[in-house]
């Protein structure tokens, strides 16, 4: 099935747009790529030899500024590879949709910023294996950062979470769970077999250190999970008689409402 007319013209525009941006960024990389001699990086200089030049941006204040521009252009080139492969595939399969136009339009610029950011992360030593970077490393990092943007974003997120690690979310989650009232939903096995000295309480919002109350008498309870307790009635003074029912409750060690509602269980 052929593309709709609007989809066709947008796809054509995006092909031209991506070619201009991608090829243009690559050409600028080649034209402005510096030379390196004995660890000294040299960009093109003005006629008077007093200023560094980076076409078409003009004069540079420092070599580092030139390397930043290399990372930006490399990110755009890498992102062009990603976007061009995706766009050509969708056009070839006549599956291109106009709703994806913004994604392809912004892709090179997103890649450029990613190349810029990951270069800073490398130079700051936030990513292992950074070391001292030469122009080849700068361009390689920018290209890969723009091309594999999802991987790049995940890596930057990992760096950020390592730098600003906090346990506050866990504490907040613990506080929320600690305030929940325990709920007894069932007993396993049910009814409790004759002669059995152990059974399980199934429910939710149980805490470590929770105890069980059988007919208001505290009995030993082993915490298995927030949804399961193992109860032993081997040590109770008087086991409920066969064929009778008893009430069972769970009491958490803390919380606004630590005691569950009563649940009736039957003994064989």
Name the residue among 137, 142, 67, 138 with its Cα closest to residue 110: 142
Q: Helices (H), strands (E): how many in the chain?
A: 6, 11
Residue 206 sits in the same domain as residue 85: no
How many domains does one find in the chain?
Answer: 2
Q: Report the pLDDT value the prediction gives residue 137, as an integer from 0 to 100.
A: 84
- 128 located within any domain: yes
* Closest to 65 in 3D by CA, of 125, 136, 132, 120: 120
> According to the model, what pLDDT value does residue 172 have?
59
- Model pLDDT, residue 3: 66
CA 89 to chain centre: 28
Going by C-beta distance under 8 Å and a sequence separation of 6 or more, which residues neighbour residue 50? none
Q: What domain range includes position 202?
A: 174-266
Residue written as token pair 């339009």: 105
Provide the pLDDT for residue 24.
Answer: 93
The residue out of 163, 187, 206 marking a domain boundary is 163
Question: pLDDT band at 128, cuts 50/70/90?
Answer: low
- Same domain? For 45 and 178 the reply is no
Helical axes 135-147 vs 101-123, angle rounded to 10°: 140
Of the candidate ranges 4-13, 48-57, 124-133, 202-211, the one whose mean pLDDT is the lowest: 124-133
pLDDT digits (tens, 9 = 90+) for 216-238: 888 888 899 989 999 888 878 77
- How confident is the model over 192-206, as a mean pLDDT? 87
**Separation between Cα atoms, residue 20 and residue 170, nearest integer Å:** 48
Q: Is the pLDDT of residue 104 over 70?
A: yes
Instruction: Confirm whether pTM is higher than 0.85.
Output: no
CA 225 to chain centre: 27
pLDDT for the residue numbered 21: 92
Inside any domain, residue 169:
no
The larger pLDDT score, comparing residue 14 to residue 131, is at 14
């Amino acid at each position: 099935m052929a593309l709709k007319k609007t989809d066709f013209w947008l796809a054509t525009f995006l092909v031209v747009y991506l070619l201009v941006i991608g090829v243009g960024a690559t050409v600028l990389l080649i034209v402005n790529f510096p030379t390196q001699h004995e660890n000294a990086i040299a960009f093109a200089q003005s006629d008077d030899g007093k200023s560094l030049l980076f076409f078409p941006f003009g004069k540079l204040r420092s070599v580092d500024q030139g390397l930043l521009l290399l990372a930006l252009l490399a990110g755009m080139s890498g992102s062009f590879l990603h976007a061009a492969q995706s766009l050509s595939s969708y056009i070839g399969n006549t599956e291109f949709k106009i709703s994806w136009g913004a994604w392809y339009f912004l892709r090179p610029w997103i890649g450029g910023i990613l190349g810029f950011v990951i270069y800073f992360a490398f130079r700051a030593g936030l990513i292992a294996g950074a070391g001292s970077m030469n122009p080849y490393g700068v361009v390689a990092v920018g290209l890969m950062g723009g091309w594999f943007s999802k991987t790049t974003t995940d890596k930057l997120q990992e760096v950020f979470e390592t730098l600003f690690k906090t346990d506050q979310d866990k504490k907040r989650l613990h506080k929320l769970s600690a305030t929940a009232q325990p709920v007894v939903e069932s007993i396993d096995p049910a009814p409790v077999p004759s002669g059995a000295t152990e059974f399980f309480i199934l429910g939710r919002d149980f805490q470590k250190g929770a105890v069980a109350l059988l007919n208001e008498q505290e009995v030993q309870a082993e915490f298995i999970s927030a949804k399961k307790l193992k109860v032993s009635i081997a040590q109770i003074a008087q086991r409920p008689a066969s064929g009778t029912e008893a009430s069972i409750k769970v009491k958490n060690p803390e919380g606004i409402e630590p005691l569950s509602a009563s649940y009736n269980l039957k003994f064989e």
